[in-house]
Structure 1
Amino acid sequence: MDANAWNSSRLNREREQLFGLQKVFAWVATGLIACGFVFVVLLLLNNRALTRTHEQLRRKDRALQTQYNWFEAAVNNMSQGLCLTDGDRRLLVSNKQFLNLFSLYEGANWQGQALEKILPASMLPVAVDVSTADPLGVYVAETPYRRTHRLDDGTVLFVSHEPMASGGWVSTFEDITERQNAQDRIAHMAHHDGLTGLPNRLLFWQHTENALHELRDAGNPFAVLYLDVDRFKEVNDTLGHPTGDALLRAIADRLASTVTSPDVIARLSGDEFAILHLPGSELFSSTQALAERVLKAISRPYLVGHTEIQITTSIGIAFGPQDGSDSDELIKKADLALYRAKEPGRQ
């Protein structure tokens, strides 16, 4: 083979190799372009998915913010004070009513403050000692707390501490001052005379029962003094019921200034009063001295309006336990003694 033929063959091989490389490069370039296209498509799809996810997150965030605003509005417009504390009784969350009830500045950051620095000790939730665990090993770390508490300014709060499973407490504070005052007024009316404000027959009976219990437990004797205003009916008939009522109030004031604690004064009915005398010692001499003071005090003249009124009283006395072992019997015996003490002709 001559040189020209050899060269021609070599050129053909090199040309074929070059065409092969061109084909490979073309396939590689085509593959790269296809991969780039797929990558761009995937990137676009991913961006679209991210945009959609971001929009969903923004919608959820707006929904959560709306729910938080609703929750905050509901909590801050509650009539009850509310706070949330952790297991160490540190304040986590509180509403405006809670801050107002305890005169706390709203602009201050109370989060993390120890609850004992804000509330009286008697209002704090109580943790139970783990030594109270039952035999199965179930530890009751905290117990519910519900009770009424009166603040120094007279506000009455119903306090509730509910333990959370994760530790800490949800606490509410309800202002029940008006309700409690109404209940106190009703209870006072049920046990006190409306005209004089003195204990009535029911409350006097209860005090006498308590004295009998003390007598049985500690051996402390006592006396029941039954009083009746002499000729009070004449005052009512001649001067009128308003004057009679004013006179009864004046008599109640005289008795209150004459009788000292722990003795109890009561208006039983009409012009009848009673005294539960608890001397502690020297029962008979002390009772006699008290009766003399009462007789002297009641007999001083009264000025009712522009009218001076002079009255007296009669007293019947019964001693516990000599004259009876129950309240009804003692009061009845004192009433009988009063009947015998009244002079003929008095009313």
Structure 2
Amino acid sequence: MSNIKSQQPKSQSITILGAGAWGNALAAIALANNHNVRIWSRRGSLTLANAVENADIILSAVSMSGVSQVARQIQSLPISSQVIFVTATKGLDPETTRTPAQIWQEMFPSHPVVVLSGPNLSKEIQQQLPAATVVASYSPTAAESIQQVFSSPRFRVYTNLDPLGVELGGTLKNVIAIAAGVCDGLELGTNAKAALVTRGLAEMVRIGVFWGAKPETFYGLSGLGDLLATCNSPLSRNYQVGYQLAQGKTLTEILTHLPGTAEGVNTCRVLLQRAHQYHISMPIAEQVQRILEGEITPTDALTELMLRDAKPEQ
């Protein structure tokens, strides 16, 4: 699927970068709303230059590892001064700890950048099950424009003016989703999982606010909403990583057979790099990273979390 066109003359021209499940799901929504959609991937026949030609909106759904490279390539191409960039990638750059939106904004400072994030499991959206998401930007006009593009009876879209918080919510919850998978893999029960998810949200808020995000954003769809979805669904790749680690599989074995990218694996290391730099406590993320590195077993990680010094909740 490389070049899809609708018949509506007033439709927007949308280029979607990335032909994975998420990119294709968003393409299907935009197409159903009578927009012109082109999908580009490294393995496709459509060149990047042709893909972005005359685009009104360029939406990036590539994995975190490809964001900087693709953005640099587009920098050298002629695009309209009115293009809105949308990022639907959840991750952190390993070298700079920047978010995808920060990378796009740095490379295209005169263009609005919109973050799209929420409890959006691709397979459910492809099945046309109802879902909601958030589009966030420092430009209210740009956010509202993207809201109109993707809103449908099956996909409710909210706007937000805290793109950093929206983006960090979707990114950081992947680390907690790995821990949730471990919890279920060890059959620790509902009480343990509720405690894990709640304290995981506290870690997300703690470092997110330090990062510059608004605390209330983490209690919305892109934070708590996405956290609940990925911590409770076997459709989540990050959850699957944790679950299978608890079953005794190695990380290499899991990632070899996992369809798509579990961004939480790389995010955890980058997140802790920033947390250590600024002395921010992230005990759950710390144990997740130790499990991923094979330094500790899931059972021992649980024990260390439970035996931490007593402290107030707030």
Shorter-chain TM-score category?
Answer: under 0.3
More strand by share: 1
Q: TM-score, normalised by structure 2?
A: 0.22
- Kindly name which structure, 1 or 2, has the bigger radius of gyration based on alpha carbons: 1
Provide TM-score, normalisation by structure 1: 0.20
| Greater relative contact order (Cα < 8 A, sep 6+) | 2
